[in-house]
């Protein structure tokens, strides 16, 4: 158990999706007592934020905010280890008829093969989301949107990296 779970359960206990009438996709604990809530749409997110903002008990304990908007990131699972970076970079080309419209961020060993994380434009992501699999070379791989807020390693607030942190003490 993470030491932060008590904060998450504090929010979970105080505000419920049914009470606020929103659709929640996923709740994840993040570093230093943070909690990341994904809602089914932006309107529900705004609704949740105003609900949390108007709750003094939560407002005193949490910094409430949205992660910065950025290009969608995609994680693609189980890619064979021989697959080259170039093959990944071109994987959306059959969909978009344009090569290299993705930017590779990271890859790591998964349960099967390697998992690749890349960034693309909202337009490419929209085309991609019409299918549940993505063609990489001769393989068809499952993928999903990769959602990770930008969180500062120094003060653990959202929306800026540690090098831009304004917090003076560690």
For binding to Zn ion (CB under 5 A), which residues are involved? 152, 154-155, 165, 167
Strands 139-145 and 133-136: antiparallel
CB of 165 to Zn ion, least distance (A): 3
In angstroms, what CA-CA distances link 157 with 73, 75, 91, 152, 170? 21, 24, 35, 6, 13
Rounded Cα distance between 51 and 20, Å, is: 7
Contacts for 155 with CB less than 8 Å, ≥ 6 apart: 165, 167
CB of 162 to Zn ion, least distance (A): 6
Nearer to Zn ion, 24 or 30 (CB): 30
CB of 82 to Zn ion, least distance (A): 40
Q: Could you give the 3-state DSSP secondary structure of residue 38?
A: strand
Nearer to Zn ion, 53 or 167 (CB): 167
CB of 103 to Zn ion, least distance (A): 25
CB of 21 to Zn ion, least distance (A): 33
In 66-132, where do the E strands start and end? 73-79, 103-109, 114-119
Rounded Cα distance between 22 and 39, Å, is: 7
Nearer to Zn ion, 24 or 165 (CB): 165
């Amino acid at each position: 158990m993470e030491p932060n779970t008590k904060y998450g359960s504090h929010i979970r206990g105080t505000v419920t999706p049914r009470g606020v009438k929103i659709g929640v996709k996923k709740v994840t604990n993040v570093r230093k007592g943070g909690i990341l809530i994904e809602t089914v749409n932006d309107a529900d997110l705004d609704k949740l934020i105003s609900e949390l903002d108007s709750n003094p008990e939560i407002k005193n304990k949490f910094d409430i905010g949205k992660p910065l908007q950025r290009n969608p990131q995609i994680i693609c699972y189980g890619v064979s280890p021989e697959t080259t970076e170039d093959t990944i970079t071109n994987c959306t080309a059959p969909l978009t008829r344009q090569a290299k419209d993705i930017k590779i961020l990271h890859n790591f060993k998964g349960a099967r093969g390697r998992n690749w994380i890349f960034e693309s434009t909202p337009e490419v992501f929209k085309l991609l989301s019409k299918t549940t699999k993505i063609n990489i070379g001769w393989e068809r791989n499952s993928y999903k949107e990769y959602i990770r807020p930008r969180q500062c390693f120094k003060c653990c607030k959202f929306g800026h990296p540690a090098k831009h942190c304004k917090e003076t003490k560690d």
